[in-house]
Chains A and B, each alone.
Chain A
């Protein structure tokens, strides 16, 4: 017996068949599935748990930072054999490098300003190249 509250529209809506999906849907889905199936295994393992891994790495970093505040690593290292000699060598090496940079000259110019200028120019070139590549990629889209 049919429900008297239901009218012809209810019946027609209930009898409506599914709409046929476009023929392009299945190939599109399978193409994406193919991309996912060929991803490296670790992307599959780490990918879905990215938030957990981020939290884990952050927790370890905080722990290491906290330990480094409580314990001086240099103090502990000083007790290890051979470490004292290496630690004594560091200031000597730094002094030698400082002297070389300040006193050495290339065509009557000091090495330090030359190196600083070269580093600055390289940085500017790098930023300009990255910006140009980004702009070109944007234009291609």
Chain B
């Protein structure tokens, strides 16, 4: 990963022949910033949208927005929270674009079957991560917001524009599915 990142910086240097030392210093500082927060941002997106390709695109968008406000964010103590909020909102917006699919899954009650790869069988954390990704959108999103973003039921209901009782039942169903799959 370090090799790939170094290559990106050298490409940047070639491209910005006329860039000042100040600009270069800022870009290098931003690169360090991305290195520090990329796993956190990617995790938020990947757990909400449930697939890594979309999560990478969303993470990219989050960091571009962060770059536009880097002067404010670089010394902020709440930068982690800001990144998590933007990643959460962009991920939910991404899912909302497929609202029809979302509604379809929310009505689906069939159990989810997950094929855990042989080398991951003994790794409970990996199995749990995979199980989260394979949950239906309607169960996964409230569960992730509740457990990983520490949002309340009311906040989740407002954010997803669904009823409080549906939030509770979706989180409960998601948890039951996870328990069943991980203890198998």
Q: Which residues of A contact B (CB under 8 A)?
A: 9-10, 12-34, 36-38, 48
Contacts and interface: CB of A to CB of B under 8 A. Distances in A.
A33 B67 contact: yes
Interface stretch (B26-34, B98-106, B112-120, B151-159): B26-34
B145 to A, nearest CB: 12
A26 B16 contact: no
Contact of B5 (A20, A30, A48): A30
Q: Which 8 interchain pairs have the tightest Cβ spacing? A: A27-B8, A21-B42, A30-B8, A18-B39, A21-B38, A34-B12, A18-B43, A23-B1
Contacts of B63: 29, 33
Interface stretch (B89-97, B121-129, B134-142, B160-168): B121-129
A9 B35 contact: no
B38 A26 contact: yes
B43 A19 contact: yes
B125 A17 contact: yes
Contact of B46 (A19, A27, A38): A19
Interface of B: 1, 4-5, 7-9, 11-12, 15-16, 18-19, 23, 27, 30-31, 34-35, 38-43, 46-47, 52, 56, 59-60, 63-64, 67-68, 124-125, 128-129, 147-148, 175, 178-179, 182
A15 B125 CA distance: 9
Given A18-B39, A29-B34, A13 B147 contact: yes
B4 A24 contact: yes
Contacts of A37: 12, 16, 19, 23, 27
Given A13-B148, A17-B125, A33 B4 contact: no
Contact of A24 (B18, B30, B56, B147): B56
A7 to B, nearest CB: 8
A37 to B, nearest CB: 6
Contacts of A28: 56, 60
A38 B27 CA distance: 11
Contact of B68 (A20, A21, A48): A48
Contacts of A10: 147
B129 A16 contact: yes
Contacts of A25: 34, 38, 42, 56, 59-60
B16 to A, nearest CB: 5
A9 B59 contact: no
Contacts of B4: 23-24, 26-27
Given A9-B179, A14-B147, A34-B16, A21 B9 contact: no
